[in-house]
């Protein structure tokens, strides 16, 4: 089944403790992206990647890192999480960076930083 898989689904952590949220897609998609979803703010893009070893900042990149060493994986790293990073996170992929293909989304990771 074609899908984007994120792990974990739920995570509670403490301020400052490094964490990684994994994202993997099995569709050979070039373009991958991370979003956070907050009430009243909709979805905001954190980082995106147009292909292996090519990443760039989205609208809210502060406090996050990403890497794209393989085409299928696009992990999101929080080096020193803070409470304002408590949010619902989605990974998404698309066949190409051209806008007309649409995204496939993962099921989301609900992160709570205390």
Partner 1 sequence: GNSVTQMEGPVTLSEEAFLTINCTYTATGYPSLFWYVQYPGEGLQLLLKATKADDKGSNKGFEATYRKETTSFHLEKGSVQVSDSAVYFCALAGGTYKYIFGTGTRLKVLA
Give me the residues that bind partner 1 (CB under 8 A), please. Answer: 4, 31, 33, 35, 40-43, 45, 48, 50, 58, 90, 92, 97-100, 102-108
Q: Which is nearer to partner 1, 9 or 17 (CB)?
A: 9
Nearer to partner 1, 67 or 105 (CB): 105
Q: What residues have CB less than 8 Å from 38, skipping those under 6 apart?
A: 44, 87, 88
Measured distance CA(66)–CA(49) in Å, rounded: 9
Least Å distance, CB 3 to partner 1, is 10
- Work out how close the CB of 95 gets to partner 1 at its nearest, in angstroms, rounded to a whole number: 12
- Three-state DSSP class for residue 3: coil
SS3 at position 83: helix
CA distance 90 to 59: 15
Q: Which lies closer to partner 1 via its Cβ, residue 62 or residue 102?
A: 102
């Amino acid at each position: 089944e074609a899908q984007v898989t994120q792990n974990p689904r739920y995570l509670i952590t403490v301020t400052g403790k490094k964490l990684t949220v994994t994202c993997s897609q099995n569709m050979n998609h070039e373009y991958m992206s991370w979003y956070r979803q907050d009430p009243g703010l909709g979805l905001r893009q954190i980082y995106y990647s147009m292909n292996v070893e090519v990443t760039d900042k989205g609208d809210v990149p502060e406090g996050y890192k990403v890497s794209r060493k393989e085409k299928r994986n696009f992990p999101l790293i929080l080096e020193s999480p803070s409470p304002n990073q408590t949010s619902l996170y989605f990974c998404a992929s698309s066949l190409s960076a051209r806008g007309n293909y649409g995204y496939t989304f993962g099921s989301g990771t609900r992160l709570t930083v205390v």
